[in-house]
Structure 1
Amino acid sequence: MKELDLDVLIIGAGPIGIACALECKRRNLNYVVLEKGALTNSLFNYPLNMTFFSTSEKLEIDNIPFISNNPKPTRNEALEYYRRVSTSNLLKIHLYEKVTELNKTPNGFTIQSNKSLYNAKNVIIATGFYDIPNLLNVEGEDLPKVFHYYKEAHPFSLQNIAVVGASNSSVDAALEIYRKGGNVTMIVRGDGIGERVKYWVKPDILNRIEEGSIKAYFNSEIKSIKPSEIIINTPEGEKIIANDYVIALTGYRPNFEFLENAGIDFSKDGKSIPNYNPETMESNVKGLYLAGVICGGKETHKWFIENSRIHAKQITKHIDKNRQI
C-alpha cells in the first residue's frame, strides 16, 4: 500500500497528536496520524490509579469539554475523553503502525512504516518521551526483577521493594505498594522528596518516611542488584538490603536517535533541546515540525499537555499559510 500527496503526516496519537489532527481537519488539510501502539499509548501505560496534577479543563483540546468526577481527573477518565474526541470527530488515526524511516525529499518527505509507505509535504512529530527509560547503568539492571514502569501494586504485596527516585511516579508507587502490604524502601539520589511532587501527596510520603513505615535513603544510589538483595551507596557507607523487586522510576527521554536521523539539530548545553522556531514549531528541517513534550529535550518537565496544546494551532496555521503562497 502506498499513500501519496498527504499535506501532513502526524507521528504520535497522544493528546497533542490528536490536537494536531483536529486542526488539520478544520483547515481541510489532507492528513493521517500514525501511532505505534494504542491510542494515547503513553497515557495507557500510566499506573492504573494515577491522578493528574492538572485539572480537567487544562487537559481539554479544541475546546471540547472534559468532564471528570473530581477536579483532578484520573487515567481512566483521560483515556475515555481522548478516545471520545478521536472517534466522534472521525479522525484518521492508524494504530499499531510504527514509523521506521523518515527521509527528506525535494517535495516533502517519504515516511516508511511497518505497514505502508507515505509521501507527505509536512510531518509533525508528537511522540512524547515515555518510551525510553533513563537507565541506572548498574550491575544486575537486566534482571527480570527490575522494572522501569509501574502499573499497579498488587504483584508487590508482601515483597521487599526498592523504589528508585523521588518524583511523582516514584512517590505514588511507594505509597500504593506500602498500602497494599509491600515492604518499601526508597533510594533517592537527592537530599529530599522532589519539589514537583503533587502538593496533596507530599505530606503523606513525608509522614510515612518520618514514622518509619517507608524507609528512605537520601543522597544514595544503587551500586548493584542481586537476585535477592541490592547494594546501595549511602552517606553512611555501603549497605546491603534484602530485595525482591526494584522499581526504577528515574525518568524517561525522547527518541533522540529518531530525531537525529531526521536531520534535527540539538542544543550543545547538555539539555539536548531540539532546534525549532517557537512561533511556528518548525524545526531546522523545512516542513518538519515538533509538538508537545518532545520540544524540551532532556527537560521533560517543561512541556506537558496543558501548555503545549497551542502547538497544534501554531503548526497548522504555518502549514496553511505556506500552502496558500
Structure 2
Amino acid sequence: INGETMTVNAPGDWHAYTRREPVGVVGQIIPWNFPLSMLAWKVGPALAAGCTIVLKPAEQTPLGALYFGKLVQEAGFPEGVVNILTGFGETVGAAMAAHPDIDKVAFTGSTEVGRLIARAATGNLKKVSLELGGKAPTIVLGDADIDMAVAGASSAAFFNAGQSCGAGTRFFVHKKIYDKVMSGIAARAEKLKLGAGLDPATELGPVVSQQQMERITRLISEGRSDGAEIVTGGGRAGDVGYFVKPTVISRTRPDMSVIREEIFGPVACAMPFDDEDLDKLAKDANDTEYGLAASIWTNNLGTAHRLAAKIKSGTVWVNCHNFNDVTMPFGGFKQSGWGRELGEQALQLYTETKTVAIRLP
C-alpha cells in the first residue's frame, strides 16, 4: 500500500512523503443477511493493510464465520491475527465497540445500532466505519425499456427476500407507463416460487426469523390502515416457516411508515409521477434519512447523468440494481453510514496516514 511524495512549498530543501500504516486491532461486526460476503468485505482489506481482527458474526448466522476461523487455523495464520467471537450485539458487540484496546470498529447493520456503536466508540475515540440501512429509490422514467425496468425493479425489491440494505423499496414510476410497469411487477411477484433455500427451484426464501417476519407484516398492515393499496401479496405465506408473500403496495404517501422505515423484507412501495422536472423528482427520491443506493431506469444517457448527480446516495445504478464489484466503493450518504467498503477506499479504512518531512542539509 503506497504513500505519496510531496513538493514542499516552504523555503529550503525538503524530502516529504507519507506512509500508510495499519490502524491496529480492528473489531468487525457483520450482519446476518450476507454473512460470508460481509465477512470477506471486512476481513480481506483489513488483513491486506496489516491489521489484526476480532470478528463478531451476527448471532443469527455464526456458523459460516466459525468455519472460516477453522480454515484460518488450517492455513497457518499466526495465532491472534484473526479471532472469531460469537455472541449477542447488546453484550459482545457493545463490549467490542467500547474496548480501549480496539483501535477501530467496522460495522454493517441497522442505523439504530450504528448510532449505539458510534457513541460507545467515543471512549478512546477509535475510528469507526459504518455501513447502515437504506431505502433505495427505484426511478423509472417515461422512456425506460419497460421489460428491462420490470425485471430489474422486481429483482431490486425481492432479491434475498428484500433483506438487503440496498434493496429498491420505493418505486417512482412515470405516470404514462405506471400501469404497465406495476402490472408487470405484480405478475412477477405472484409467480415467484417460495421455498427452502436449499431447494434449487426456490426463487424466494424465508426471512431470517419470526421477529423479522412479524415486523414486516406489521408494517404492511400499517400501510393498509393508512390507505395504501395492496396490489399483490400483503402478509405471511402459509403457516410453516418465516415466509412473507412478495408484496407490492401502491397509492402510498411520503408520510406512511412503509415509505419512511426500512422494511427489510420482500415489499415494494410505488408512487407515480408526471413531472419532467428532475429537481422535483430528485427531491422526492431524497426525502428519506437514508442515502445508500438508488437506481435510474432510462434510455436517455444525458438524463441519467443529470439525475444521478442530484441523488443523495453513495451508489447510483443506471438500468441495473444491486450491482457491486470489488473495484467499486460502496457506502452511504446521510444516515446510511460513514466510510466506503470495496475499492481502494476499503484499504484506507484500515490504515493511518503518517507524514514524514526531512530537511535536507
TM-score of the superposition, structure 2-length normalised?
0.27
TM-score of the superposition, structure 1-length normalised?
0.29
Greater share of residues in helix: 2
Report the structure number with the largest CA radius of gyration.
Answer: 2
